[in-house]
Amino acid sequence: MTETNSSSLTRRELLTAGAGAAAAATLPSAAGQTVAPVPNMPTSSRELWQWARTQPMLDLQTAYFDVAGGGPTLRAAMAAEYRAREVQSIGLANAAERWTEETNRLALRFATFLGCDADELQFTRGTGEALGQAIAGLDLAPGDEVITTTREHPAALSPWLVLARRREIVVKQIELPTPLTGPEQALGLFAGAVTERTKVLAFAHVQYDDGAVLPVKDLCAFARQRNILTVVDGAQALGMVEFALRDLGCDVYATCFHKWLSGSHGTGALYVRRETLDRVWPVEPRGLDSVPPVFTPTDADGNNGVPAALHKLGSSVPYLWPALRGVEAALEFQQQVGRSKIEARVRELAIYARLRLQQVQGIELLTPARPGLWAGILTFRVPGKTAVDLATAVERTHRVHVRAVRWPNDEGGALRLSLHVFSTHDEVERLVQGLQQALR
């Protein structure tokens, strides 16, 4: 195999590659301005996915199946970020004057993509930071209950456990079965755990360990009827499955741009539903030096022209904007290729991988099989074998990178495969061959 894409970006590439480079040279004046169209994008399906494969900075000789761990960054995103950093450095003298305009522009651009209002978005360095800010900002009293699961990522569970220590809230972790058999099963388990002290339901949109897609809309509708807040961890959803935040009906949604979106690393967002924003205290209250101080983020309360959530929760745009310019190129990629097309391709590759893995003797699939309950993550184990050993073996013999993850009640752990549009059927075949060899 001679295909390679792993060389470093040259300066010429940095200056010319991809969407956003030209647009980023000067700070834009028009709110909502987008980056330039993705150049040279083929329209036929076969060529489109071959092209998509060359867009991120990725060693194509290794089959990379761990987007759920970290997404390779699009070249266009890196180029846009680099150009923005040049502008940042050269324009430091006049930077402060531009924050309001740039903050509004970015909030509107991302809100349009995410399906919410600009007033509902806070930019963060990732999902964990977004969850940490929201959870620490909630007014919960001793004895108030939060219902979550035993399957949360540590970044999603830890902020609740800290609150349990500091304020004696009660964190109840329900056990989600694997594989989940239907959305009603998840709903029934949450519903069965609710009491009159329950104030929050907290869960992942897509589970990071087995890739189960939870029925977010149903869970949020159930909670809202009972005046219970919902806090959703969307680290594994954005860029893989198509959705609009307002449509999900959650109060809080945390996500990142550095996994399935293939944007700049160290970027993410916190969504707080407009009607819920009054219930979240700022943990980094930069807006409080406004006159009058802003505790309630409405225009009437001293909003200085910056969208409400960013104003109230403390905008990080002055630090993050070059990286967010990079993410804009990733948004453009998603929109021009088509979010539904990307989801369909991811699902198609994952179904192919499931069919092939089912044929490997000894493998037990842990990801739900029911359509709609899973997407681009496929987890499996081989009873009696250690996942780390298998991952090491396929990497060494077949250059396939797949992630070993912890698995409840199994010291051997499990293997998690995450497939994105730059993955191929041939790479899946390589994994299957590698596993067959390792299990012989």
Ligand X SMILES: Cc1ncc(COP(=O)(O)O)c(C=O)c1O
Nearer to ligand X, 294 or 330 (CB): 330
Among 20, 56, 128, 434, indicate the residue that binds ligand X (CB under 6 A).
128
297: contact with ligand X by CB under 6 A:
no
Among 140, 170, 204, 390, indicate the residue that binds ligand X (CB under 6 A).
204
Residues that bind ligand X (rule: CB under 6 A) add up to a total of 13
Choose the stretch contacting ligand X; rule: CB under 6 A; options: 48-56, 89-97, 153-161, 340-348: 153-161
405: contact with ligand X by CB under 6 A:
no
Among 160, 208, 374, 407, indicate the residue that binds ligand X (CB under 6 A).
208
C-alpha to C-alpha distances, 138 to 119, 278, 365, nearest whole angstrom = 18, 10, 38
Among 233, 251, 332, 343, indicate the residue that binds ligand X (CB under 6 A).
233
Task: Report in angstroms how near the CB of residue 414 gets to ligand X at its nearest.
Answer: 15
Nearer to ligand X, 266 or 352 (CB): 266
155: contact with ligand X by CB under 6 A:
yes
3-state secondary structure of 128: helix
Task: Report in angstroms how near the CB of residue 229 gets to ligand X at its nearest.
Answer: 18
235: contact with ligand X by CB under 6 A:
yes
Among 88, 122, 127, 149, indicate the residue that binds ligand X (CB under 6 A).
127
126: contact with ligand X by CB under 6 A:
yes
C-alpha to C-alpha distances, 77 to 13, 209, 299, nearest whole angstrom = 12, 28, 34
Whether 190 and 147 have beta carbons less than 8 Å apart is answered as yes
d(CA 223, CA 130): 21
Cis peptide before 72, with omega less than 30 degrees from 0? no
153: contact with ligand X by CB under 6 A:
yes
Which residue, 205, 200, 234, is CA-closest to 218?
Answer: 205
Burial of 225: CB neighbours in 10 Å, binned 0-12, 13-18, 19+? exposed
Nearer to ligand X, 87 or 248 (CB): 248
422: contact with ligand X by CB under 6 A:
no
Secondary structure of 361-387 in the HEC alphabet?
CCCEECCCCCCCCECCEEEEECCCCCH
d(CA 173, CA 323): 36
The 10 Å CB-count burial string (b at 16+, else e) for 325-347 is: bbbbbbbbbbeebebebbbebbb
Nearer to ligand X, 294 or 331 (CB): 331
